[in-house]
Amino acid sequence: EPHVAKFVYDFTEGNKDLKDLLGGKGANLAEMTNLGLPVPPGFTITTEACKVYLDSGEEPPALRDEVSAHLDALEQRMGKKLGQADDPLLVSVRSGAKFSMPGMMDTVLNIGLSDKSVKGLAKQAGDERFAWDSYRRLIQMFGKTVLGVDGELFEEALERAKEAKGVQVDTELDAADLKKLVTAFKKTVKTEAGRDFPQDPREQMDLAIHAVFDSWNTDRAKLYRRQERIPGDLGTAVNVCSMVFGNLGPDSGTGVAFTRDPASGHQGVYGDYLQNAQGEDVVAGIRNTVPLAELENIDKASYDQLMQIMETLENHYLDLCDIEFTIERGKLWMLQTRVGKRTAGAAFRIATQLVDQGLIDETEALQRVNGAQLAQLMFPRFDEDARAEQVGRGIAASPGAAVGKAVFDSYTAVKWSRSGEKVILVRRETNPDDLDGMIAAEGILTSRGGKTSHAAVVARGMGKTCVCGAEELEVDTKRRRMIVPGGHVVEEGDVISIDGSSGKVYLGEVPVVPSPVVEYFEGRMHPGADDADELVEAVHRMMAFADRKRRLRVRANADNAEDAMRARRFGAQGIGLCRTEHMFLGDRRELVERLILADTEAEREESLKQLLPLQKRDFVELFEAMDGLPVTVRLLDPPLHEFLPDITELSVRVALAESRQEPHENELRLLQAVHRLHEQNPMLGLRGVRLGLVIPGLFTMQVRAIAEAAAERKAAKGDPRAEIMIPLVGTVQELEIVRDEADQVIAEVEAATGTRLKLAIGTMIELPRAALTAGQIAEAAEFFSFGTNDLTQTVWGFSRDDVEASFFTAYLEKGIFGVSPFETIDKDGVGSLVKSAAAAGRSTRPDLKLGVCGEHGGDPESVHFFHEVGLDYVSCSPFRIPVARLEAGRAAT
Ligand code: PEP
Ligand code: MG
C-alpha cells in the first residue's frame, strides 16, 4: 500500500511527543486537549508540509484537501462556518516550531472577519465595539505579517485616533472610532500592498498559513536560530485554532502564568493578567498588566479553575510549565502550554525541589540542568555594599550584573559593541527587530512590559541580563536619552549598571563581587550554614548527584600551586596538564634564552644547571598541592621563538646602534642566532618532542627535576603521583628515544635517593600521525592525553591562533559549522580520530590510561563525546571543573 503523507492533525489526534511533526505548541495543545482541559478546538499543519513548501515554493498538492476536511469538521463541531456572514467562525493561525522561538515567527488572529461578517459578529456578541476592534486587529496583523506592510503605519494611525479623541488607551476608543480606523487601515493596505484586504475568509486563511511558513526564514528567525543553535531545516508547524476572545469586556481578558516562579523556582501564583485584551497585548507589553494573583478578585471561578489546571499540568509534565490563557465572558480557555524557560538558578532549584516532592529522581534531575547554566551562575554580581546611585527599579527579568554605555537603538548597540564598547540596550520595550542589538549588548533595560514581555523572554533564553518594566524611567528613543526620577538625563554613551537579579538600575559603574556559587566552590560558603542561600544548597546537591553518576574523572590544567589548590577545591581529581613553558616566563626567560643560544657545551650545561633547582622547586610545590592525586607534567612544548626577542625589534636595535657607531656585538650575535632559528611556520617547526631531541640535556633536566621533586616529597612523607608527558609525538621512535633517556635519569635519582618513584611516562596525541599509529605508540606510552587543540589545528589545517578572527565568522554564517571546532569537538573528524586512537592504544595496552587536555575538556558537548568514546578523564581550566563534573554526570545518565 502506498504511503500517504498526512499533513494535518486535529488537536485530538496529536500528543506531546510529536514535537518534530506538530511543533511544540501543536503537540502541547493536543496533549492538553487529551487531558480534557478546555482548549478551543482546532488542528495543526505539520512541519513536513512546511518543509515541502519551503523547498519547492508550493504547498504539497494534498494539503488543500486535507485542510478543507479538517476545516469542515471544525465548522460542524462549532456549528458555524468560517467567516459566515451572520455568525462567523473565526480562527487564529499561529506558528509553532519544535523549539520555542519567542516572537520570532508570525501569528494572525481573527481570521474570518470581513466587511460583512464583522456585522454578524457584532450582533452575535451583542457588542459592536468588540467586533470592530477585532476587525481592525485582523487588518493590522494581516497587513503587517502577510502582506508586508510596515507595522508602524498602523501604529501611528492608532496613535492619531487616540490623540484625536484625547484618550490614553485603545479601550477608550468606541465602535465608531474603530470603524473609521478600519477604513483607514484598509486604505493603507491598498496603497502599501497594492491590493485590497481579502474579503474571502478561506483566502485569508491560506495566505496566513503561507506567511507562517515563510516566517521560518526571516532574517530575525535565522539569527535567533544561530544564536540558540537550532537547526535551520526543521520548519514550523501551523496551528489553526478557533478563536476565543479576551476583548469582550471587563469579564474577559488574557494572561500568562507559570506554575512556579521562573526566576527563583518557588511555587506560587506567578504571571500577568490583562483585562479586556487579546493575547498579543500581554506579550508585547503594550498595556500594563496586573499580577495574576489579582485575578482572584476579578473572577474567582476562573482563577480557581486555572490553579487547578496548573497543578494538573505540573503533575503531568513533572516540570515548570508556562501557560497562555484567555477568559471569554467568564469562561477559561487554555491557549498554550509548554515546559517553561527559566533562569539558571531556578533550573537548579526546581530540579532539587522536584526531587524533594518525589516527582523526579536524581537521574532525571541531572537532565533538568546543564553546564552552561552552571557557568552562568559562576559570574560575578554587583557588590551590595558599594555606594551606587540607584535611579530606578524594574522587574528582575534575567539575572546577572551588566555594566555598559547606554544606547537607545539596536543599530548603535551593534555598531558600538563591534568597536569593543560594552553597551546596555535601553528601549521602551523590545520587539523581534531588536534581536541583534540584544545579542550585542551586555544587558537590556526596558521601561515597559512584565516578566513575560518580549525583552524578558528573549533575554532569559540567551542568558543575558535584563531589567524590564522600569516605569519611572522615561525612555526617549527619538532623542536617544532617558530621564530618571529627579530629572537627571542619561544621554547615549553614559555608563549605567543594571542588576537582573534585583531589577535595580544604577548610574555609573557599580563594582562586582564573586557569585555565591563560586564562594561555595571555594569553600568560603557552606550549604546548610546560615548564610547559604537556596541556590548554593541546590548546586551542592546537584553536584553530588553528578559525582555519584559520572564515570569520567575530572582533572585540571594548572601550572602553579595556587591554581592547583583552587582546582582541588573545585573538585579536580588531579592535574591533567602542567604546561612547563609557563614556568619559564619572567626572569627565567633569560636563562632559557641562554640555553637556546648556547654556542658551547659548557654554556648550555651552565644554564641547565641553573634551571634545574628552579624547576624542582616548582614541582615540589605542585606535588604538595596535589598530594595523593596524579599530576601530569608535560615537558617543554612551544616553538622556541616564544622565548627569543622579537626579530624586528632586535634588527632595529642593531641598525640604530650601527648608525650611532655604538658597540653592539652582543645584539648582533643574538640577531644572527634569532635569524638562524627563525621559522616560517613555528607551530609546525621545532617544538615539542623535537626540542627534546635536538637540545641535549633539556628534557633530561626536566625529568631530573620531576624525579628529584617526587623523591623529596616522598622523603617528607608525601604522596606524589607524577606522570611525565611528551608533547607533539608523531612516531613511536621519537618517544622511545626520549623515554630511554628519561628512564635512565629516573633510575639515577632512585639510586641516589634510595626511593622507588614509579613515574609513569606517556605522550600527548595531538598530530594525525600519532592518532593513526596509536597502536604502535602505545608500546612506549603508559598513557595518552589527547591534545585536541593541536589535533584540531592539524586535522583541519586551521591555525589555532589566526582563523577564529579571520574567517570563522564567514564559516559560521554559511553554516559550514554551527560552532568553532576549537570550542566544541568536531565529532566526525577530530573526534573519530580520538575514538580510533583510543581503541588502537587500548588494544596494544589494555590498561592504557586515556585523557584529554585540550580546551574541549571543559566544553559541555565535548565532555559527553569523551564519555561516549570511553576516555578515563577530561582535564580543563580550574574554573571549568564544576561544569565538567556536572556534564560528566549528565553524560552518564
Ligand atoms: C593541545 O594541543 O590540545 C594542548 C593541550 O596543548 P597546548 O594547548 O599547550 O598546545
Ligand atoms: Mg598542544
Q: Are 262 and 460 in contact (CB under 8 A)?
A: yes
Ligand 1 pocket, 778 CB below 6 A?
no
Shortest-distance atom of ligand 1 to CA 727: 6
pLDDT band at 589 (very low <50, low <70, confident <90, very high): confident
Shortest-distance atom of ligand 1 to CA 579: 9
Q: How far apart are CA 578 and CA 9, in angstroms?
A: 59
**From ligand 2's centre to the CA of 822, what distance in Å?**
12
Q: What is the dihedral of CA 467, 468, 471, 473, to 10 degrees?
A: 50
Q: Ligand 1 pocket test: which of 583, 691, 790, 876 has the largest number of ligand atoms within 8 Å of its C-beta?
A: 790
Residue nearest to atom 8 of ligand 1 (CA): 789
- Sign of the Cα torsion 28, 29, 30, 34 reads positive
Vertex 147: Cα angle to 143 and 153 (nearest 5)? 45
**From ligand 1's centre to the CA of 727, what distance in Å?**
9
Q: How, if at all, do strands 423-427 and 443-446 pair?
A: parallel
Phi, psi of 396 (to 5 degrees): -75, 95
Q: How far apart are CA 564 and CA 511, in angstroms?
A: 28
Q: What is the secondary structure of 380-444 as a DSSP string?
A: -EE-TTS--EEEEE-EEEE--EEEEEEESSHHHHHHHHHTT--EEEEESS--GGGHHHHHHSSEE
Q: Are 749 and 712 in contact (CB under 8 A)?
A: no
Question: Phi-psi bin for 574: left (phi > 0), alpha (psi -120 to 50), beta?
Answer: left
Among 426-430, 672-676, 830-834, top mean pLDDT goes to 830-834
**From ligand 1's centre to the CA of 853, what distance in Å?**
7
Q: Are 187 and 194 in contact (CB under 8 A)?
A: no
pLDDT band at 1 (very low <50, low <70, confident <90, very high): very low
Residue nearest to atom 9 of ligand 1 (CA): 579
User: Which one of the listed residues 50, 853, 867, 876 is annotated catalytic?
Assistant: 853
Q: Which long-range contacts (CB under 8 A, 24 or more apart) does 581-586 make?
A: 581/636, 581/637, 581/638, 581/642, 583/559, 583/614, 583/615, 583/618, 584/611, 584/636, 584/643
**From ligand 2's centre to the CA of 797, what distance in Å?**
14
Q: pLDDT tens across 137-168, in order?
A: 999 999 999 999 999 999 999 999 999 999 88
Ligand 1 pocket, 766 CB below 6 A?
yes
Annotated binding site for substrate: 579, 634, 766, 787-790
**From ligand 1's centre to the CA of 564, what distance in Å?**
18
Q: pLDDT tens across 268-308, in order?
A: 889 999 998 876 666 555 567 899 999 999 999 999 999 99
Q: What's the Cα-to-Cα distance from 504 to each of 194, 377, 396, 413, 498, rounded to whole Å?
A: 48, 19, 8, 21, 6
Q: pLDDT tens across 872-883, in order?
A: 999 998 989 999
What average pLDDT does the segment 375-401 reach?
Answer: 85
Shortest-distance atom of ligand 1 to CA 790: 2
Read off the pTM. Answer: 0.80
Residue nearest to atom 6 of ligand 1 (CA): 787
Ligand 1 pocket, 577 CB below 6 A?
yes
Q: pLDDT tens across 717-776, in order?
A: 999 999 999 999 999 999 999 999 999 999 999 999 999 999 999 999 999 999 999 999
Task: Give the helix ranges, DSSP H, for 660-758.
Answer: 665-677, 689-694, 698-715, 732-753
Q: Are 525 and 519 in contact (CB under 8 A)?
A: yes
Shortest-distance atom of ligand 1 to CA 785: 5
Nearest ligand to the CA atom of 801 = 1
Ligand 1 pocket, 854 CB below 6 A?
yes
Q: What per-residue confidence (pLDDT) applies to 711?
A: 98
Give the rounded distance of the alpha carbon of 282 from its chain centre.
26
pLDDT band at 198 (very low <50, low <70, confident <90, very high): very high
Q: What per-residue confidence (pLDDT) applies to 513?
A: 83
Lowest mean pLDDT among 171-180, 526-535, 597-606, 622-631: 526-535
Q: Could you tell me what percent of the chain has a pLDDT over 90?
A: 74
Q: What per-residue confidence (pLDDT) applies to 636?
A: 94
Ligand 1 pocket, 787 CB below 6 A?
yes
**From ligand 2's centre to the CA of 791, what distance in Å?**
8
- H/E element, 468: strand 465-468
Vertex 776: Cα angle to 771 and 779 (nearest 5)? 120
Q: How far apart are CA 644 and CA 531, in angstroms?
A: 51
Q: What per-residue confidence (pLDDT) applies to 430?
A: 87
**From ligand 1's centre to the CA of 739, what distance in Å?**
20
Lowest mean pLDDT among 374-388, 620-634, 677-691: 374-388
Annotated binding site for Mg(2+): 766, 790
Q: Ligand 1 pocket test: which of 557, 559, 575, 577 has the largest number of ligand atoms within 8 Å of its C-beta?
A: 577
Q: If you average pLDDT over every residue of the chain, what do you get?
A: 92
DSSP state of 174: -
Q: What per-residue confidence (pLDDT) applies to 2?
A: 47
**From ligand 2's centre to the CA of 622, what distance in Å?**
21
Q: Are 504 and 390 in contact (CB under 8 A)?
A: yes
Residue nearest to atom 3 of ligand 1 (CA): 787
The radius of gyration of the chain from alpha carbons, rounded to an integer in Å, stands at: 33
Phi, psi of 196 (to 5 degrees): -75, 155
- H/E element, 786: strand 783-786
- Greater confidence (183 vs 264) lies with 183
Q: How far apart are CA 8 and CA 65, in angstroms?
A: 10
Residue 108's SS3 state is strand
Q: What per-residue confidence (pLDDT) applies to 486?
A: 87
Separate counts of helices (H) and strands (E) for the chain? 36, 31
Lowest mean pLDDT among 447-451, 532-536, 538-542, 804-808: 804-808
What average pLDDT does the segment 171-184 reach?
Answer: 94
Lowest mean pLDDT among 294-308, 323-337, 455-469: 455-469
Q: Ligand 1 pocket test: which of 637, 725, 789, 793 has the largest number of ligand atoms within 8 Å of its C-beta?
A: 789
Q: Which residue, 759, 754, 755, is CA-closest to 722?
A: 759
Cβ atoms within 10 A of the Cβ of 509, count? 14
Q: What per-residue confidence (pLDDT) applies to 282?
A: 61
Q: Ligand 1 pocket test: which of 634, 786, 853 has the largest number of ligand atoms within 8 Å of its C-beta?
A: 853
Q: How many CA atoms lie within 13 A of 330 on its CB side?
A: 2
- H/E element, 809: helix 808-813
Q: How far apart are CA 233 and CA 731, in angstroms?
A: 43
Nearest ligand to the CA atom of 636 = 1
Question: Phi-psi bin for 375: left (phi > 0), alpha (psi -120 to 50), beta?
Answer: alpha
Domains, the chain, in order of start with CATH, read 47-61+71-242 (3.30.1490.20), 253-339 (3.30.470.20), 379-513 (3.50.30.10), 550-639+679-891 (3.20.20.60), 640-678 (no CATH)
Q: How far apart are CA 783 and CA 555, in angstroms?
A: 15
Q: Could you tell me what percent of the chain has a pLDDT over 70?
A: 97
Q: What per-residue confidence (pLDDT) applies to 46?
A: 97
Q: How far apart are CA 322 and CA 337, in angstroms?
A: 6
Q: Which residues have a Cβ under 8 Å from the Cβ of 94 and sit 6 or more positions away?
A: 25, 107, 108, 212, 238, 239, 241
Question: Phi-psi bin for 315: left (phi > 0), alpha (psi -120 to 50), beta?
Answer: alpha
Lowest mean pLDDT among 403-407, 500-504, 842-846, 852-856: 500-504
**From ligand 2's centre to the CA of 642, what distance in Å?**
14
pLDDT band at 249 (very low <50, low <70, confident <90, very high): confident
Nearest ligand to the CA atom of 785 = 1
In residues, how long is the chain?
Answer: 893
Q: Which three cell numbers stand for residue 700?
A: 633530561
Q: pLDDT tens across 5-40, in order?
A: 799 999 999 999 999 999 999 999 999 999 999 999
What average pLDDT does the segment 661-678 reach?
Answer: 87
Q: Ligand 1 pocket test: which of 764, 859, 877 has the largest number of ligand atoms within 8 Å of its C-beta?
A: 764
Annotated binding site: 579, 634, 766, 787-790
Residue nearest to atom 4 of ligand 1 (CA): 787
**From ligand 2's centre to the CA of 664, what distance in Å?**
37
Give the rounded distance of the alpha carbon of 78 from its chain centre.
44
Q: Cα(first)–Cα(last) distance of the chain, in Å?
A: 41
User: Which one of the listed residues 50, 241, 454, 468 is annotated catalytic?
Assistant: 454
What average pLDDT does the segment 591-597 reach?
Answer: 86
Q: How, if at all, do strands 395-398 and 630-634 pair?
A: unpaired
The β-bridge partners of 257 are 271, 323
Residue 44's SS3 state is strand
Nearest ligand to the CA atom of 577 = 1
Residue 644's SS3 state is coil
Q: What per-residue confidence (pLDDT) applies to 584?
A: 85
Shortest-distance atom of ligand 1 to CA 853: 5
Q: What's the Cα-to-Cα distance from 351 to each of 271, 655, 884, rounded to whole Å?
A: 21, 68, 19
853 among known catalytic residues: yes
Q: How far apart are CA 342 and CA 354, in angstroms?
A: 15
Q: How, if at all, do strands 395-398 and 495-499 pair?
A: unpaired
Residue the block writes with cell 620531576: 706
Q: Which long-range contacts (CB under 8 A, 24 or more apart) does 61-68 make?
A: 62/4, 62/5, 62/7, 63/7, 63/8, 64/206, 66/6, 66/7, 66/8, 67/8, 67/206, 67/209, 67/240
Q: How, if at all, do strands 474-476 and 481-483 pair?
A: antiparallel
Residue nearest to atom 10 of ligand 1 (CA): 790
Ligand 1 pocket, 853 CB below 6 A?
yes
Task: Give the helix ranges, DSSP H, for 252-343.
Answer: 280-283, 295-298, 300-317
Question: Phi-psi bin for 400: left (phi > 0), alpha (psi -120 to 50), beta?
Answer: left
pLDDT of 188 over the 50 cut: yes
- What ipTM was reported for this prediction? 0.99
Q: Which three cell numbers stand for residue 498?
A: 543594571
What average pLDDT does the segment 370-393 reach?
Answer: 87
Shortest-distance atom of ligand 1 to CA 788: 3
Cβ atoms within 10 A of the Cβ of 655, count? 13
Q: Which residues surround ligand 2, an ion (CB under 5 A)?
A: 766, 787, 790
Q: What per-residue confidence (pLDDT) applies to 281?
A: 66
The β-bridge partners of 334 are 325
The β-bridge partners of 323 are 257, 337
